[in-house]
Amino acid sequence: MPEICVSIEALKVGDLVIRIEESTGYRLKKSGRIQSPQDILALRSAGVSSVWIEPRTEQKEEAPAPDTSAASEEAPAVSGSVAKSRTFYAKARDQMADFYSLVSDGGIPDVEVAQQYASTFVDGALKHPTTLSCLTRIREKDAYLMEHSLNVCILMAIFANHLGIARETIDKLALGALLHDLGKVMVPETILMKPGKLTDAEFEVMKSHVVHSAAILAEEKDLPPEVMDVVANHHERIDGNGYPKGKSGKEVSMYARMVSIVDVYDALTAERCYKEAMAPTKAMRLLMELAGSHFDDNLVRQFVRCMGVYPVGSLVRLKSGRLAVVVELNPESALRPKLKVVYSIASHSHLPVQNLNLLFSSDSIEKAEDPSEWSIDVARYLL
């Protein structure tokens, strides 16, 4: 039966959409039946003016709804319940606080429990990386040590999956990332929280946390070598300027090179008592500047591809004169992510939040902005 072309205004719930009029810039991922007015709205929002449908005769069988997810102005879908994700993150943070407290009293954390948390984060990172990326951008000022460990675990899992590393190995890398800073409980708080620059002597004490972390975990029997590699070498640099052993070149494993990038990225984008948080895009630029010296050039480039040119949590200026927060990446285009439009530059005022998918919009990103310069808390728009 030949298909017919109808305008978007004439499209009805129940119509079986075969394809989109080719004059539009939008391509349907798959055909399917219009299940609700929201499906029509999604197509209209994408700039679709007409579609080809199966003639309206008796519908013999149900067909799945057309895949309009890329065009939809609805909020991006996330895994299960966002509230569940945040609750689990908070629970894991409390568990890390218990681990640090235990270590400071001379105890050894339960690695099996830590692996359970790490593996759950890996599950989320593999299935719903956007949700987990958002979690790493929502921080509490007084919980840096615990949240940094969780965030490095999550980002390491996302990065390892992007590189095609086997799930079994990702679990081990995530565990190492979760426990990599345990030794910081041995560093005096006056040094950890010092607002100014550390003296040479204080920096030597700070560097000792790596040795302490490795020593604590050395008490564990049958600990996978990948875990210890991440813990013991996350501050080594390929140019030999890292610590504690000053390894260089091939002495620094691929896994250690990966965690060094992730560790620095999360530290740069966190607010501390002695510094403001760096915008994700600026942190990426700094990593690129250090690629080939401190960091592995290829892995930095892969990390940028993994996290996006404009990572989740970035504030960007649009051609339309508005500011928006990046909430999800579009695999089809690194320069056209999904956004929440939040601010008008012309009127210097906040706007009602609008979800915008740049993949199907005439608007575009002009440049990244520093949220602090606009007094915008990007975290409130994530999740």
Q: Quick one: 31 and 104 in the same domain?
A: no
DSSP label at 9? G
Please identify, among 244, 277, 307, the residue that sits at the C-terminal boundary of a domain: 307
Last residue of a domain, one of 258, 276, 307: 307
Do residues 126 and 251 both lie within one domain?
yes
For residue 214, tell me if it sits in a domain: yes
Query: What CA–CA distance (Å, rounded) separates 212 from 218?
Result: 10
Kindly state whether residues 108 and 252 are assigned to the same domain: yes
Q: How far apart are CA 324 and CA 381, in angstroms?
A: 10
| Rounded Cα–Cα distance for residues 71 and 74 (Å) | 9
Q: Is residue 98 part of a domain?
A: yes
Structurally, the chain folds into a number of domains equal to 3
Residue 89 lies in a domain: yes
With cut-offs at 50, 70 and 90, classify the pLDDT of residue 86.
Answer: confident
Same domain, 269 and 130: yes
Q: Say if residue 87 is in the same domain as residue 231.
A: yes
Report d(CA 151, CA 137) in Å as an integer: 9
For residues 373 and 44, which has the higher predicted lDDT (pLDDT)? 373
The CA–CA distances, whole Å, from 165 to 60, 169, 173, 254 equal: 45, 7, 10, 11
Band the pLDDT of 64: cuts 50, 70, 90: very low
* Residue 64, domain member (yes or no): no
Domain holding 194, by residue range, is 82-307
State whether 209 and 358 are in the same domain: no
Task: Give bridge partners of residue 248 from the DSSP assignment.
Answer: 239
Q: pLDDT for 330-355, tens place per residue?
A: 988 889 999 999 999 999 999 999 99
* Judgement on whether residues 294 and 365 belong to the same structural domain of the protein: no
The pLDDT of residue 5 is 76
Sign, Cα dihedral of 255, 257, 261, 264: positive
Interatomic CA distance for residues 364 and 337, integer angstroms? 10
Domain contains 126: yes
For 225-244, what is each residue's pLDDT tens digit?
Answer: 999 999 999 999 999 999 99
Digit-coded pLDDT (tens) for 148-191: 999 999 999 999 999 999 999 999 999 999 999 999 999 999 99
125 has pLDDT over 80: yes
- pLDDT exceeds 50 at position 72: no
Mean of per-residue pLDDT scores for the chain: 87
Q: Are residues 348 and 283 in the same domain?
A: no
We report the CATH number of the domain holding residue 142 as 1.10.3210.10
Cβ distance 152 to 180 under 8 Å?
yes
Average pLDDT over residues 269-274: 84
**Most confidently predicted of 44-48, 81-85, 177-181:** 177-181
Domain co-membership, 26 together with 87: no
| C-alpha torsion 333→336→340→341, nearest 10 | -170
In the chain, which ranges are continuous DSSP H helix? 37-45, 82-104, 111-127, 129-136, 144-162, 167-179, 189-192, 200-218, 225-233, 254-268, 280-290, 297-307, 371-374
Asked if residue 348 and residue 296 are part of one domain, the reply reads: no
Enter the DSSP assignment of 180. T
Residue 70, in any domain of the structure: no
CA distance 49 to 36: 18
Choose the final residue of a domain: 307, 337, 353: 307
| Judgement on whether residues 161 and 279 belong to the same structural domain of the protein | yes
113, part of any domain: yes
Shared domain for 198 and 175, answered yes or no, is yes
pLDDT above 70 for 77? no
Position 32 scores a pLDDT of 76
Of 38-42, 51-55, 312-316, least confident by mean pLDDT is: 38-42
Higher pLDDT, 56 or 289: 289
State residue 76's pLDDT score.
33
Residue 231 tokens read as: 């813990």
Spatial CB neighbours of 57, under 8 Å, sequence gap ≥ 6: 1
Q: Is residue 67 part of a domain?
A: no
